[in-house]
Amino acid sequence: MAAFASMRLRSALGSLLGVLGLMTPIMAGAATPPVWAEEFDSTAVPQAPDPARWRFETGNGPADLPGWGNRELQYYTGRSTNLFVQDGLLHIRAVVNDPDRPAGPGPTSARLMSRPGVLPRFGLFEVRAKLPCGRGAWPAIWMLGEQGHWPARGEIDIAEWAGASFSENEMQIALHDQWRFGGQARVARFPLPAACGAFHTYRLLKSRSDIRVSVDAPAGKWRIIGRPGKGEAGSWPYDQPFQMILNVAVGGDLGGPLPPEGPAGFELLVDYVRVYPCPQGKRCDL
């Protein structure tokens, strides 16, 4: 979801993740309590996300990065119209034609980011969520390094779906850094029935040695990105603390133009975000 995201498609899947396949089973927090968790518990009354844990970004991008670098159409707000917690779910709602949009009528949405220092540096990150479908929708669950500028700070796309670019039965994961970003990022799409429009459990195992990502696979079927050799030492910014971002973009390079008779909006639902210690005695910090 960072700048130049449209370049991802130009590499015919970019550099496919280094190793794909079955590894030693790693149970995803089945019996171990999380070290950090956001359950988005609430009553039937809509509430704002916990301000001690989350902040939201507003606007249509910085002055030097209009449209958030991807020609996106939405204006992000912190209003309850676009962002609220209710009935045990986080709702991020894009309104396609919002008459109260601060920059004039058009799409509004929300972009929620965890506060610096809230999340552990390493561990097993787990998010259960339902991404919206539809041309023009561009929802994502992703992370950015806390230090530096993109792409050197590092980006991990845990789950990304785009209405003009993917079928409804495939998902994309990607890593971006100062050596490999845009069309050269480590990118892979993989089949996933009802990738949008249904709840799935997304998992990221973040360690010094590699990054592992899976969907609905608690027994350890991972897509694995190994730490590069000494020649590319600068291309591994993933040891630093990262922040999580949950958002729904509208339009843009991957979301595509909205159809003339498009939907009234798109909604990302998040059941929980949990972080577990590294499983089965694996040392993530070595």
The parent domain of residue 89 ranges over: 5-25+34-216+227-279
Residue with tokens 């590699």: 210
User: What is the full DSSP assignment across 173-223?
Assistant: EEEE-SSS-GGGSEEEEEE-TTSSSSEEEEEEEE-SSEEEEEES-TTTEEE
Alpha-carbon span 100 to 136, nearest angstrom: 20
The confidence score (pLDDT) of residue 223 equals: 83
Q: Which residues contact 150 (CB under 8 A, 6 or more apart)?
A: 2, 3, 144, 176, 181
Question: Looking at the predicted structure, is the pLDDT value of residue 19 above 70?
Answer: no
Is residue 286 in some structural domain?
no
Question: Looking at the predicted structure, is the pLDDT value of residue 228 above 90?
Answer: no
Question: Looking at the predicted structure, is the pLDDT value of residue 229 above 90?
Answer: no
Is residue 284 in some structural domain?
no
Residue with tokens 């991802």: 8
Classify strands 265-276 and 36-38 as parallel, antiparallel or unpaired.
antiparallel
Is residue 222 in some structural domain?
no
Mean pLDDT of the chain: 85
Question: Looking at the predicted structure, is the pLDDT value of residue 8 above 70?
Answer: no
The residue-averaged pLDDT of 158-163 equals 93
**pLDDT band, very low/low/confident/very high, at 23 (cuts 50, 70, 90):** very low
The confidence score (pLDDT) of residue 120 equals: 94
Is residue 221 in some structural domain?
no
Is residue 71 in some structural domain?
yes
Alpha-carbon span 119 to 53, nearest angstrom: 9
Catalytic residue positions? 155, 160
Residue with tokens 């070290």: 35
Q: Higher confidence at residue 82 or residue 260?
A: 82
Question: Looking at the predicted structure, is the pLDDT value of residue 184 above 80?
Answer: no
The residue-averaged pLDDT of 70-75 equals 96
The confidence score (pLDDT) of residue 116 equals: 96
CATH of the domain at 158: 2.60.120.200
Classify strands 89-98 and 221-226 as parallel, antiparallel or unpaired.
unpaired
pLDDT, one tens digit per residue, over 121-146 is 999 999 999 999 999 999 999 999 99
Is residue 285 in some structural domain?
no
Alpha-carbon span 195 to 139, nearest angstrom: 11
**pLDDT band, very low/low/confident/very high, at 231 (cuts 50, 70, 90):** low
The confidence score (pLDDT) of residue 77 equals: 97
The confidence score (pLDDT) of residue 190 equals: 81
The confidence score (pLDDT) of residue 173 equals: 86
The confidence score (pLDDT) of residue 31 equals: 62
pLDDT, one tens digit per residue, over 241-286 is 999 999 999 999 999 999 888 789 999 999 999 999 887 666 787 6
Residue 40: other Cβ atoms inside 10 A: 20
Is residue 10 in some structural domain?
yes
**pLDDT band, very low/low/confident/very high, at 180 (cuts 50, 70, 90):** confident
The confidence score (pLDDT) of residue 233 equals: 55
**pLDDT band, very low/low/confident/very high, at 51 (cuts 50, 70, 90):** very high
The residue-averaged pLDDT of 63-79 equals 94
Alpha-carbon span 244 to 120, nearest angstrom: 11
**pLDDT band, very low/low/confident/very high, at 219 (cuts 50, 70, 90):** low
The residue-averaged pLDDT of 186-193 equals 83
φ and ψ at residue 235, rounded to 5 degrees: -100, 25
Counted domains in the chain: 1
Alpha-carbon span 141 to 213, nearest angstrom: 12
The residue-averaged pLDDT of 215-236 equals 73
The confidence score (pLDDT) of residue 269 equals: 98
Is residue 260 in some structural domain?
yes
The confidence score (pLDDT) of residue 232 equals: 60
My answer on whether omega of the bond before 25 falls inside 30° of 0, hence cis, is no
